[in-house]
Structure 1
Amino acid sequence: MTTPQYELVNPPTDAISAIQFAPTSLRLLVASWDKHVYLYDTSRNAQIDKFEHRAPVLDVCWGANDEEAYTGGLDWDVRRINLKTGAQTVLSSHTNGVKSVLYSREQNILISASWDSTLHIHHVLTPDKPFVTISLPNKPFSLSLTPTKLVVAMASRALHIYSLSDLASDSAAQGIEPWQRRESSLKFMTRAVACMPNDAGYASSSIEGRVAVEWFDPSSTSQARKYAFKCHRQTSPEGIDVVYPVNALAFHPVHGTFASGGGDGFVALWDGIAKRRIRQYQRYQASVSALGFSSDGKFLAVAISPGFEDGKEGVGEDGTVAVFVRELAEGEAKGKGAK
């Protein structure tokens, strides 16, 4: 018996940069290089709405509920979208493209990261309060958060871990230092970072077909547990090992296992504790550009976009752009040692 999977209707017309399920429903937000954010109801495979921007949208996230979203992109603006009315509000403007936006429900702050090497911290419940700018030593490539921490993966293999309570505090305006500064375990450029749901650590991936798993605890015992492994590599007919970038990572919210998506068109599920691959799904017809689990962990959304395997984030007219929703069978994403 094959696992049920279906393709969403009315997909974007250009490369997909981000996807995210709603906190309490099966609604799905999709950000695209076609200058739109799309809202789908995956439970009935329907496009509810789409919201136009002035330039390609690089990231999207949900806010405090299923009626608001935040976006960032190549227009340099950080925006709030009222999904009921369609109204858009600019919260701040960077001086270069906005690569990532993340909302912390625990601290009620929105964090944006820009290629201008800054973070903006927005106190969304008090809109009159000015946003705070935090300088980064390098260009940010990917963000991820837990209830207590923010991980910022940057160029030059730099990585900062911040305390979210520090970022949300009134003293943030005077400058906040990272809780930890680290160098990536991966030797090549970071493509994605994703935090464990249990607040214990994170996984990161590179353009050179590798994933690293690390823990926050700075003790030598915990740091000795960190490791990296090869993945998303295919052998060519000539017997050559072809290496693909690992574009996307997503942790399962219940089991703590994680999915990786690569330029080879494959999605794999991993048990980071047992250091084993649980399964690999059939090959998609284009590079996997984004992944996202539903909040209950029963569904996995997979976005495919040609060009991501070469680091090109825009596609031509003949490219296949699609979002697939896969329903996971009972225990399908459980770790090898899970009961």
Structure 2
Amino acid sequence: MADPTEWTLQSPPFDSISQVRFSPTNPEHLLVSSWDATVRFYDSSEIVNEQKTKFDHRAAVLSCCWENGTSAFSGGLDCTVRHLDINTETTTPLGAHDDSISSMVWSAPQNALITGSWDRTVRSWDLREGGTPQQQQTMPERVYHLDIVGHMLVLAMASRLVRIYDTRRMDAPLQERESSLKYLTRSLACMANGEGYAMASTEGRIAVEYFDASPEVQANKYAFKCHRQAIDGVDHVWPVNALAFHPTYNMFASAGSDGTVSIWDPKAKKRLRQFNNFNNAVSSVAFNCDGGRLAIASSYTWDEGEAGAKTAERPAITVKKMGEEIKPK
């Protein structure tokens, strides 16, 4: 029986989905970047449920983000930062990195796009400067993920390195940390309340961290196991591919290669709900601006190599209405 609280979007990408991102102003508008070298823009409402436009790229797109309700950005394996105009359906190159662009966020306080790359740099861009980065910082390792809340920018890099910056003073990091997780960082998300962030890894673990470096606050950080299954008596550990914090309640969603999405209360340190029924790995999740819906991208993530790709189903994007399970108890 179909779940009345969720629906699947029409015209999904043909290859793995790298990110889903809701508009900061319209709770129905959704951007989806993909390895099929496109960024697609949807009206994700249950009534309309259609792709409005598609932005073609030269190679796989690894990241996208919104500036406002009509302007967005994208980047990926072709190393180019692109500006996407939703109204005119046009794509404009803004600049480039020396290697693939892995992650990007819009900093509203700085009115700038911030991009991270495998070229070991983080760059900030101003649309008024015609493609010249305002600032560039060299990192000790490849940048895999970045996220921002207010002025706090968190970078997760190779070799389990983490840096925290104040975007008003990017000349030096506020803090340098080593991930408390033992393996490769797979996902990162900042808390909506600005107190810290969560990061997850390929080993099926999530760490909850706090910005305040005082011993009293640091005593509250913790890590836990998740996205694990016992199949025929054998324990299977799945990568945690994506994290997303609710904009109001500060609960967060985690998405795994086990095809499930879980909702967690970081204060109570417990799972509130788990959503199953996804035939592929879940590669990305995002709450919309009012927190009433969660976009869930299910697509093959190459955990099982080419053999798994032969049997994987076509990517899908599910929009799920959030109920009481997202509210603090």
- TM-score with structure 2 length normalisation? 0.94
Counterpart in 2 of 1:286?
Answer: 280
Q: 1:34 aligns with which of 36, 49, 52?
A: 36
Mapped contact 2:117–2:142 kept (Cα < 8 A): yes
Does structure 2 retain, via aligned residues, the 8 Å contact 1:203–1:214?
yes
Which residue matches 2:193?
Answer: 198
SS in 2 for 1:111: strand
Correspondence for 2:103 among 100, 103, 125: 100
Does the CA contact (< 8 Å) of 1:287 and 1:308 recur in 2? no
| Partner-residue secondary structure (3-state), 2:39 | strand
* CA spacing shift, 1:311–1:68, aligned 2, 3 Å: farther
1:22-45 per-position Cα deviation (integer Å, ceiling 9, x unaligned): 011110000000010000001121
CA distance in 2, matches of 1:128, 1:90: 8
Matches of residues 46-57 of structure 1 in structure 2 within 5 Å? 46-57=50-61
Indicate the SS of the match to 1:193: strand
AA paired with 1:48? K
Alignment correspondent of 2:66: 62
1:29-66 residue CA offsets vs partner (Å, 9 max, x unmatched): 00000010000001121110001000010001001x21
2:244–2:254 Cα contact (<8 Å) kept: yes
2:5 paired with 1:10: no
- Give secondary structure in 2 for the equivalent of 1:165: coil
How many residues matched? 324
Question: Which residue number corresponds to residue 124 of structure 2?
Answer: 121
CA distance 1:311–1:23, change in 2 (3 Å)? farther
Unmatched 5+ residue regions in structure 2? none
Q: Which amino acid aligns with 1:281?
A: F
**1:186 corresponds to which residue?**
181
2:212 maps to 1:211: no
Amino acid at match of 1:319: E
Report SS of the residue matched to 2:168. helix
Cα distance in 1, alignment partners of residues 80 and 264 from structure 2: 36
SS in 1 for 2:181: coil
Is the CA contact 2:283–2:301 (under 8 Å) kept in the aligned structure 1?
no
User: What is the aligned partner in structure 2 of residue 172 from structure 1?
Assistant: none
3-state DSSP of counterpart to 1:166: coil
Contact 2:80 2:96 (8 Å CA) reproduced: yes
Aligned counterparts, 1:139-288, within 5 A: 139-167=142-170, 176-237=171-232, 239-288=233-282
CA-to-aligned-CA distance 1:167-186 (integer Å, 9 cap, x gap): 4xxxxxxxx11111001010
Q: Which amino acid aligns with 2:283?
A: S
CA RMSD in angstroms comes to: 1.8
Distance in 2, Cα, partners of 1:177 & 1:92: 24
Please give the secondary structure, in 2, of the residue aligned with 1:228. Answer: strand
Q: CA deviation at 1:283?
A: 3.0
Distance (whole Å) between structure 1 residues aligned to residue 24 and residue 130 of structure 2: 22
Aligned AA (1:213):
V
Judge conservation of contact 2:55–2:90 (CA < 8 Å) in 1. no
CA separation of 1:226 and 1:3: change in aligned 2, threshold 3 A: farther
Q: 1:332 aligns with which of 318, 325, 328?
A: 325
| Structure 1, 285-294 or 135-144: larger mean CA deviation | 135-144
Alignment-derived partner of residue 76 in structure 1: 79
- Please tell me whether residue 91 in structure 1 is matched to residue 86 in structure 2: no
> Does residue 160 of structure 2 align to residue 135 of structure 1?
no
Aligned 8 A contact 2:12 2:315 in 1:
yes
Deviation per CA, 1:150-202, whole angstroms, max 9, x where unpaired?
100011110000101124xxxxxxxx111110010101111011000111000
Q: CA deviation at 1:334?
A: 1.3
Once the 2 structures are TM-superposed, how far is the Cα of residue 101 of structure 1 from its aligned partner?
Answer: 1.3
Q: Which amino acid is the alignment partner of residue 143 of structure 1?
A: L
Aligned residue number for residue 170 of structure 1: none
CA distance in 1, matches of 2:211, 2:78: 34
- Alignment check: 8 A CA contact 1:300 1:327 kept: yes
Identity %: 44
Counterpart-to-counterpart distance in 2, 1:287 and 1:35: 20
Distance 1:197 1:240, change over 3 A: same
Determine the C-alpha separation between the residues in 2 that align with 1:270 and 1:93.
37
2:49 to 29, 32, 45: 45
Hey, what's the Cα distance between the residues in 2 that align with 1:197 and 1:9? 30
Change (3 A) 1:180 1:78: same
Separation in structure 2 between the aligned mates of residue 258 and residue 157 of structure 1, nearest angstrom: 22
